[in-house]
Structure 1
Amino acid sequence: MTLKSLLLGATATTCLASAGWAERGADGHVNLIYWQAPSIMNPYLTGGTKEREAASLVLEPLGRYNVAGEMVPFLAEEIPTVENGGVSDDLKSITWKIKPDLTWSDGSPFSANDVKFTAEYCMHPDGGCAQLAKFEGVESVEVVDDLTVTVHFAEPQPNPYGPFMGGQAPIIQAAQFADCLGAKAPECTDANFSPIGTGPFKVDEFRPNDVISLSANPNYRDPAKPRFATMTFKGGGDATAAGRAVLETGEFDYAWNLQLAPDVIANMEAAGKGVALSAFGTLVERIEINLTDPSPDLPEGERATAKHPHPILSDMRVREALSKAIDRELLVEIGYGKAGRATCNLVPAPAAYASDNTDCLEQDVEGAKALLEEAGWTDSNGDGIRDKDGKKLSLLFQTSTNAVRQDFQALIKQWWGEIGVETELRNISASVFFGGDPGSPDTFQKFYADVEMYANNFDGTDPQSYLASRTCNKAPRPESQWQGENINRYCDPAYDELIKELGRTADLGKRGEIAKKLNDMLTKDSYVILGLVDRGRVSARSNTLGGVELNTWDTELWNAADWYRIKE
């Protein structure tokens, strides 16, 4: 079977109906708590999941993915396919038909020009767009008429659903962002904090790393939605406090990403105020290895860039040794229980794209020691820390502040200590770590450490754009305002060529083979990414919040327009 034949059989589905519901805003106020506070409302200027989640209340793509991973239209009338004429027979273009009479929250008309502008904004060579991989292979975007836009690709694209599909690639208003192209993008504070959108809510006040006040979009396309008139999106704190606020006290209606031990969640749930929601998708907790030198002794602008290879971790034997020392099954048991599965992969699902790479699942301390010996790292003075050419085998290991992650850090430090690696631990507020501020030294993109741990995932069920984010040109650097998802600055021309091959391959079986090979190049072939845990998504809703459908293939707030208050 080819992806082209799959497109031929694709069908469009629609959003939940609002029949019988009262008028917009009838259910009053709703409270959300995200213990990682958003620092911006523009998903194109951050790699942080928390920002994409918040922005999805306001900004929408042409199409989204539902809870089953199926494509559904949002601002488009239907999902383009070969069958309906939306995808060209040669697979080199995709044409989107926009719903008529759409307006932005400021009352101005939405048009194909906004769609084209969004592509220009992200693809600008000086813009540092964090979602550039979504536009991989795009040659041009053509406005056919006010309600029709065509994306042209340089080569056939069997999977043409990167641009404008899913919560990572929404449409921004051309009028609002007209003066924000290229290097000016981070300077547009008003637009980045309070974007004008087509979504169910609009921003009334944005306080970075704290709280967002929102209200119902008066121009939302469904007059019966959203059911909530106002929303408070509280950020900050920790996962424990967020869980308690929904499950124990009922102070909040929804809590995202409860990265807590399973017994802690069960105890909270016993209070009876709410329920925990969980589902597996593509979220992998992993360790990223920095291939560049983050030393503060280097000049700013050269630190953690390709100009200076890492003095220790450029040796693959050291990276493999770090992986072998880790007991992933114990990490799962302590951190996630049934909501986690040990993995060596970056792409754990769907099954068609998941490598059978299991080499890392069995801890091998002696094998790790042998690799370090082979690499010339020995304990010359008997202090328990290996050294080489007068340099200690010492690493700075950073992650966000979270109880589970700090438990993982402590265990990994212990295991690395057993093989002679000295480890300094650092944890940074999640709001800062995932914030994407180009002026901050503490973001995960800037990566001023030797190794770091976090998790993210991709829209939908096809990993093409996600894997494409690891090509050479996606490395964060000063010229890109430190945006980009190639965090470890991995650069292999063979990988880049294989990404191009994936982009033009239609056969589903072959696409799976290529994706698995790309995954393995990052993991077991080079050990630049050390997969740890395939994490189930765990969030919570109050007993009085209806309409919530936990979505692991898009943003969790993908259907916030359908949420309502359950009457007790």
Structure 2
Amino acid sequence: MKIIVPVLAAAAIALASGTAFAQRADVVIGVVLEPPHLDPTAGAAAAIDEVVYANLFEGLTRIGPTGEVLPALAESWEVSEDGLTYTFKLHEGVKFHDGAEFSSADVKFSLDRARAEDSTNAQKGLFAAIENVEATDPTTVTVTLSRPQGSFLYNMGWGDAVIVSEATAAGNMETPVGTGPFKFDSWARGSSVVLVRNPDYWGEAVALERAEFRIVPDAAAAIPALLSGDVHAFPNMPAGDALAQIQSDDRFEVVIGSTEGETLLSINNGKEPFDRLEVRQAIAHALNREEIIAGNGSGLGTPIGSHFSPANAAYVDLTDTYPYDPEKAKQLLADAGFADGISATLKLPPPPYAREGGQVIASQLRQVGIELEIIPVEWADWLSQVFTEKDYDMTIVSHTEPNDIDIYSRPDYYFNYQNESFNAIIAELDSTSDEEKRNELYGEAQRILAEDAVVGFLFQLPKIGVWDAKLEGMWENSPIPAIDLTQVKWAE
């Protein structure tokens, strides 16, 4: 017998159930790398920003999904005619997650801390042009520069420039306190980081009540987690050979976007024999980029010949500077006095582009007489051994910071590269605001790096985004290393 339920009765049943028509408000995001800690002002790992940028911490400005500079804690700003003074008007009614009132004093503390002599900020150069920070009144900050800086507002949108409270800054690595629309809930080491909605957020409330960033290090674990629904989205999916299978499944949306990730065979230029240009040129000639891309885990990527994104208007295609030529590589090694070959180490962090691509590169270099001992390292060990202590010969890593060609001018950077002509160009670029002139300088800088074969320039890392087809608001591209959940929601 067919039972007909009156409309009003059906509605009552739905309301009684509580969840019949409720929109989902939680999400599980898969990430490959676990952050070493959760303070973006005290670490270089992109995995930190992926979790906390725009979600938990905010800066004066922020970088949007297409790389544009947007207001954040500063609702507006004025720039003096000489380009030296920036006056920021701050939002009122902003609170930190511990309930403390946000004011101009927090901005002054954060910027002064970042540029201090003993600063541990991984991008201290972002603040080098700042001469003075004045908390003019509770909602006004005046920043004076020592020289005009065309990228200043952009720089203030980096994760390294977020605003923190003096009262809680020391504990942000483990229990971060920001002003963002989400607040920290818990961190199960090796498993996940959980954020929950901030009910006292000053701006537009987010749709999600809970967001879990689950650490899923490889395709073998990622694929079943996605297919079973345990993980709803992988903004950077380690899909491997299963990408085609996922693309054919209408339960998921697959978006191949771009990143700022210049993937490099980094070389220790300060260590023999890699301090010899001929040796680095030999390495460059030994690299078959197409083969490396095919074997990097996803089979996707755009070849690069210098440290710049092909999506940038200032990009110069320099992939033919040292074309693939194994015989030329052998001759260069012989000319440098290494006819019998070279032995070296290759330290590989966990991402597939490194672990899988490293096998291909080791094989290519072996063909020209460079024998590499492959040493797999965990991400924390890579940061300490390679990035900090410079204890390496070669390594593979993607540099995902935006417009970061200036890293080659830093005297203590892990490449151990020194070139005064390059440094002069970067200094001029830093003080130039004219777009046409900046692009010209970017081109000169790219050419110097390519000709010096500072590292093995491999490819621009693709962003393989995979998520539940009902999930809206995910970023298609990665102009910065962030998984911004502020606009993410489930379709009604």
> TM above 0.5, one fold?
yes
- Partner Cα distance (1:191, 1:556) in 2: 18
Q: For this pair of structures, how many residues does the alignment match? A: 470
Match of 1:142 among 106, 110, 134: 134
**Is 1:531 aligned to residue 457 of structure 2?**
yes
| TM superposition shift of 1:529 | 2.1
Change (3 A) 1:447 1:257: farther
Aligned partner of 2:397: which letter?
Y
Task: Indicate conservation of the 8 Å contact 1:399/1:427, yes or no.
Answer: yes
| TM superposition shift of 1:367 | 0.9
Aligned partner of 1:137: which letter?
A
Task: Indicate conservation of the 8 Å contact 2:257/2:465, yes or no.
Answer: no
Match of 1:557 among 463, 478, 483: 483
| TM superposition shift of 1:326 | 0.7
**Is 1:493 aligned to residue 436 of structure 2?**
no
| TM superposition shift of 1:566 | 2.4
Matched residue, 1:234: 214
1:561 aligned counterpart, secondary structure: coil
Structure 1 residues not aligned, in runs of 5+: 1-24, 81-85, 178-187, 293-309, 380-385, 387-392, 476-485
Match of 2:265 among 261, 274, 287: 287
Which is worse superposed, 43-52 or 319-328?
A: 43-52
**Is 1:256 aligned to residue 235 of structure 2?**
yes
Task: Indicate conservation of the 8 Å contact 1:38/1:208, yes or no.
Answer: no
**Is 1:51 aligned to residue 40 of structure 2?**
no
**Is 1:401 aligned to residue 350 of structure 2?**
yes
Task: Indicate conservation of the 8 Å contact 1:76/1:97, yes or no.
Answer: yes
2:158 aligned counterpart, secondary structure: coil
**Is 1:41 aligned to residue 38 of structure 2?**
yes
Match of 1:215 among 192, 196, 200: 196
2:451 aligned counterpart, secondary structure: coil
Match of 1:422 among 371, 374, 378: 371
- Partner Cα distance (1:213, 1:356) in 2: 42
Matched residue, 1:366: 327
- Partner Cα distance (1:107, 1:542) in 2: 35
TM-score (norm 1): 0.78
TM-score (norm 2): 0.89
Match of 2:176 among 191, 195, 210: 195
Matched residue, 2:8: none
**Is 1:505 aligned to residue 485 of structure 2?**
no
Matched residue, 1:90: 82
Match of 2:410 among 463, 468, 472: 472
Matched residue, 1:30: 27
Matched residue, 1:547: 473
- Partner Cα distance (2:361, 2:244) in 1: 26
- Partner Cα distance (2:292, 2:46) in 1: 23
| TM superposition shift of 1:338 | 7.6
Instruction: Map 1:325-344 to 2 at 5 A.
Output: 325-335=286-296, 339-344=300-305
Aligned partner of 1:210: which letter?
S
Aligned partner of 1:468: which letter?
D
**Is 1:75 aligned to residue 55 of structure 2?**
no
**Is 1:133 aligned to residue 125 of structure 2?**
yes
CA RMSD of aligned residues (A): 2.3
- Partner Cα distance (1:527, 1:347) in 2: 14
| TM superposition shift of 1:26 | 6.8
Aligned partner of 2:285: which letter?
K
Change (3 A) 1:333 1:163: closer
Change (3 A) 1:422 1:335: closer
Aligned partner of 1:370: which letter?
Q
Task: Indicate conservation of the 8 Å contact 1:76/1:98, yes or no.
Answer: yes
Task: Indicate conservation of the 8 Å contact 2:296/2:352, yes or no.
Answer: no
Matched residue, 2:13: none
Aligned partner of 1:458: which letter?
E
| TM superposition shift of 1:127 | 2.4
| TM superposition shift of 1:360 | 4.5
Task: Indicate conservation of the 8 Å contact 1:290/1:447, yes or no.
Answer: yes
- Partner Cα distance (1:254, 1:358) in 2: 34
Change (3 A) 1:257 1:549: closer
Residue identity over aligned pairs, in percent, reads 24
